[in-house]
Structure 1
């Protein structure tokens, strides 16, 4: 167990070594290892592409609402995503930084979703949106309490825990340095910059969409 934990800790940025070095070595020693390796990396590729489809669709939908044709919107999103991914693809330190910063930020996005649902109305969403689909889960009133209390509490607790790990384990000596790839400050600076940009874009897009509908 200690050896396994050591490998995981020294597996490189964003566990790249664990996935692309240690796992192939494991498959090489397994019965039918080649087949398992093919299935593993095929599944990994499908997982990545399926996640990418949903992210591209959401962004493209916003551009379509601004008046762009669907094909143009998809091409724009694909090109910008490709260009933004080049620095991380060429620099593993930057890749590890982005994986850490935005992996932790998923907790913030979960909290934001819960807050958005609460502002819309948790019960209203459940009764008018979720329960109208007969093929979906038959959610009860317990779901409302989960969204109102459990999700925000867990999200905040996990966020504080990860940031405390960053300050005490990952970057204890330079947690205040925004240039340190795993520091608390690099998370706060990048989150703040992107949040400010998204707020500005949201206001600008809302005004554009409103002008198109008037």
Structure 2
């Protein structure tokens, strides 16, 4: 695709936004967090949608539409020469997520293959589960730990993604999303109906929305709600900058952003209503279900859905359809991540064929550790999932440097039929700057590793999966590189037309 290619119509970019946002984060990450914290998490998550995510998405959409460049170039255009390194951090943070996100896509495809195989297996899955209750957990371990089948699958996902993007916006990204997004919504509603009809399913729905007020004093739930809103909607990723750089000149920024953001949260809620009731329906008791959910099981979606479908007539076929939709949803979210890197390289003036080779190479090499080791996967999810808040702070800071009111009136409100109150927008920007800094400090002060900074021997604990040392080291390295090459970034990405 080239710099002048656009989506064919409004729904093209809306579906691209939904495809970017609706993916494994909705069906894999949201139910896990909602299962841990219930209604308190959902309240904070909804608040952060309007206070954090939507203002950021409006800003990002406007940057891409008006500056017509990738993340680094658009950020430098907005914030100026001195802060091009911040756009570099946003880009590397999203790529850090993208490198391991391709593994989630591979997991989804492995489970699709598993579901298809069950259709032809002489021993029904339900019988296997009856004789071996840990069957699905064992299969999850075989998929997520040092599996060469998973590694080859994720390589195939990256290669195929690069191929799809080579077909262009309208014939590649837009066509896939037109088939994917409606089918995914329909399927989620079907699964929700099945879950609620099972004995014990209603208890799961009640658990999902019951509010435990003590949770609000836990700093972790605040940061989880904010990071999930950012993670799921794409706020702070720079992906909306990439997508909107191909928008049409008459696209309504505010309307498109609101439809995409609300559509994403709707998909997350439906996914939670599908999966959490299934946990209660399949557990031996409510206490067992709650214990399982509050463990924050990484494999929640992958283990519960096959068991759910094994208990209903025609479940084998429905399981195939579900994991097909999940695979496509994850893949549709991977595509903008691939394009984010491609677009930045395109701004350097590189040939599209050369770009495709570089993108495939970097994704395959840098995603390999997460595909091989679940510990590395969890570390990258920990570091860069939280890093999205830093990315959001940088974008907010760049907006302040430009001028909040001036940017909104010139780039967001121009051509938008719906306009958010300027005062509300300004308050959100300033509040988010303070909120982001406070939450990151709060998070670091909690110490979610037994040795958050130094190990028992006094050595910098950078190799601990959940240590603060690991977070700060990786963030610091990216920031240091960005600052050192700041002048180069500005010349190559902002000045180049």
* TM-score normalised to structure 2 length: 0.37
In the TM superposition, what whole-angstrom CA distance separates every residue of 1:96-138 from its partner, at most 9, and x where no partner exists?
Answer: 1111111111111111111111112211221111112336x41
What is the aligned counterpart of 1:7 among 286, 292, 298?
A: 292
For residues 432 and 474 of structure 2, the distance between their equivalents in structure 1, rounded to whole angstroms, comes to: 24
Q: Match for residue 182 of structure 1?
A: 466
In the TM superposition, what whole-angstrom CA distance separates every residue of 1:178-207 from its partner, at most 9, and x where no partner exists?
Answer: 111101111111111122223334432323
Q: Match for residue 112 of structure 1?
A: 394
Shift of 1:70: 2.8
For residues 155 and 25 of structure 1, the distance between their equivalents in structure 2, rounded to whole angstroms, comes to: 39
For residues 42 and 164 of structure 1, the distance between their equivalents in structure 2, rounded to whole angstroms, comes to: 41
| 1:41 lines up with 2:318 in the alignment | no
| 1:56 lines up with 2:56 in the alignment | no
Q: Match for residue 127 of structure 1?
A: 409
For residues 487 and 330 of structure 2, the distance between their equivalents in structure 1, rounded to whole angstroms, comes to: 31
What is the aligned counterpart of 2:426 among 138, 141, 144?
A: 144
**Aligned pair in 2 of structure 1 residues 31, 73: CA closer, same or farther (>3 Å)?**
same
In the TM superposition, what whole-angstrom CA distance separates every residue of 1:38-92 from its partner, at most 9, and x where no partner exists?
Answer: 4543443333223322222222222112120233223312321121101110011
Are the equivalent residues in 2 in contact too, given 1:66–1:205 (CA < 8 A)?
no
For residues 161 and 44 of structure 1, the distance between their equivalents in structure 2, rounded to whole angstroms, comes to: 34
**Aligned pair in 2 of structure 1 residues 62, 23: CA closer, same or farther (>3 Å)?**
same
For residues 58 and 117 of structure 1, the distance between their equivalents in structure 2, rounded to whole angstroms, comes to: 21
Shift of 1:140: 1.7
Q: Match for residue 94 of structure 1?
A: 376
* Matched pairs, number: 204
For residues 184 and 31 of structure 1, the distance between their equivalents in structure 2, rounded to whole angstroms, comes to: 48
* TM-score normalised to structure 1 length: 0.80
SS at match of 2:303: helix
Q: Match for residue 25 of structure 1?
A: 307
Are the equivalent residues in 2 in contact too, given 1:163–1:184 (CA < 8 A)?
yes
**Aligned pair in 2 of structure 1 residues 104, 35: CA closer, same or farther (>3 Å)?**
farther
Q: Match for residue 358 of structure 2?
A: 76
**Aligned pair in 2 of structure 1 residues 156, 208: CA closer, same or farther (>3 Å)?**
closer
Give the CA RMSD over aligned residues.
Answer: 2.7
What are structure 1's unaligned runs of at least 5 residues?
A: none
What are structure 2's unaligned runs of at least 5 residues?
A: 1-285, 454-460
What is the aligned counterpart of 2:491 among 173, 194, 207?
A: 207
For residues 201 and 33 of structure 1, the distance between their equivalents in structure 2, rounded to whole angstroms, comes to: 55
